[in-house]
Structure 1
Amino acid sequence: MVTVTAEWEFLAHRLREWMVLRSIAVNDPWGPEDFLASSDWCQRTAAQVLTSSAALRLLADRGRTRRVRAAAGLRLAQQRR
């Protein structure tokens, strides 16, 4: 799929972000540096839908925006209840 989308930079980038989200969601190995380098969209989506405490903790501590950090922190607090 990556070779087919390689000529469209945005599409290839978004596909890589989806793969990071998928890896986290299905508990496959993922790199925190790739996750932190992802777009605001990816991090906002992750903060809303992922259940991985490690990913949410990373976003709560080092997410790109205040909005991402707050959303991730809220999800972590909800998980603890």
Structure 2
Amino acid sequence: MTDDTVLSERDRAVLAMEQRSWPGAGAKERAVRERLGISPVRYYQLLNALLDDPRALAHDPVTVNRLRRVRDGKRERR
């Protein structure tokens, strides 16, 4: 039985990847494939969904709010 108020291990790992700074895009994409076993496209799909998940906000408000600001800024520039 799962607890609907707790993020999955994979979701926590996705947020943890966003807490790091990366020397370049290639390093991050490589780490996504090696550590999470998913494609970068799937990673960003999961990340975008997490930004709208209240459980993610409760788990890591600093990272989620920072990424929401970035996402909202990109949307405004379009």
TM-score by length of 2: 0.40
TM-score by length of 1: 0.39
Which one has more relative contact order, counting CA pairs under 8 Å at least 6 apart? Answer: 2
